[in-house]
Amino acid sequence: MAAPTHWRRRRFGLKLRTVPYTAPPPPPLPPRPPRGTLKLPAVRQVELTAPLTWLALGWRDLWRCGSCSLVHGLLMAVFGLLLLWLAGDRFWLLAGAFSGFLVVAPVLATSLYALSRALERGEPAGWRTIRKTWTRWQYSRYAVHGGYWSLVRFGLLLSLAGTGWVLTSAALITLLAPQPVHTPMDFLRHVVLAPGGYLFELWLTMGALMAAPLFASSVVSMPLLLDRRVDVLQAVLTSWQTVLQNPGALALWAALIMGLTLLGMATALLGLIVILPWLGHASWHAYRALVDASDLPERLPPEGVR
């Protein structure tokens, strides 16, 4: 077979012109669907005790993935220790930072969803899966509508919401507390047990008003964005629909998430090494139980399928 033209050597005293290589342009975007044709996946109703099943399935995935999952928990626990070190004498900031961390946790668990999806498909679930999850968006933002940039945009929105709560929490405690709050005992004495205490109730109310809609917007959004080619609006509306159709089960799910996370924090953050990846895997199974997305195009086909 003859060599390509731009690699041929000079022959018979003739010098052939080399052809410079240029990368092909990215594929064009498909046309956007017409306005008013937003398609949402079907939402299933589940039993009140379904969150316990999700936890059991998440526990199974946690130990099947092994170190790939536990490293996520270790990194998050180290981040929590860093927060303690940076804000150890400013508990007014630390209280908001830890609760704001729960807001962005669905983004940090993205590769845990990918691991559970790989196990579900019978594919290898390891570090290669994690690498593909966090790098593929750089190409797919050009390739398809509802590409991986949807995950990035939703993650940024959750990060802004978490930052907003941290600032709101800090402002409430520093401006309205009768005495400076530097330690957990100061928070207990001057906020929780303050005479005529209204500050703690106000702090809890503000936190609930911000947390409830964020939970409703994100309970299945990130797994859906990872699994199917949908945009942020479709994912958020689907998430709200699951909450409206399953208020009891998802209220229990929110309570379990909060309770287990507080338990992990109470163990000097060491419990988070297991609890956070456990909840991440369980959240994937919550999505699979609540949402029937089979009519929507897959974001990535199973391994070996083109």
pTM of the model: 0.76
Q: Which SS3 state, helix, strand or coil, does residue 42 take?
A: strand
Q: Which residues contact 1 (CB under 8 A, 6 or more apart)?
A: none
Predicted local confidence at residue 245, as pLDDT: 96
- The residue ranking higher by pLDDT, 168 or 87, is 168
Q: What is the pLDDT of residues 85-120, one digit of tens each?
A: 766 666 656 666 666 666 667 777 888 999 999 999
Whether 27 has a pLDDT exceeding 50, the answer reads: no
CA 16 vs CA 7, 69, 85: distances in Å: 9, 56, 66
Whether 204 has a pLDDT exceeding 60, the answer reads: yes
What mean pLDDT is reported for the chain?
A: 77
Alpha carbon 79 to its chain centroid, in Å, reads 16
Q: Which residues contact 227 (CB under 8 A, 6 or more apart)?
A: 113, 117, 287, 293, 298, 299
Q: What is the pLDDT of residues 115-159, one digit of tens each?
A: 999 999 988 888 888 888 777 654 444 444 445 566 667 767 777
Predicted local confidence at residue 278, as pLDDT: 96
Q: What angle do CA 19, 25, 28 make, to 5 degrees?
A: 155
Predicted local confidence at residue 91, as pLDDT: 63
Question: Using CA atoms, how far apart are residues 32 and 276, in angstroms rounded to an integer?
Answer: 37
Whether 222 has a pLDDT exceeding 80, the answer reads: yes
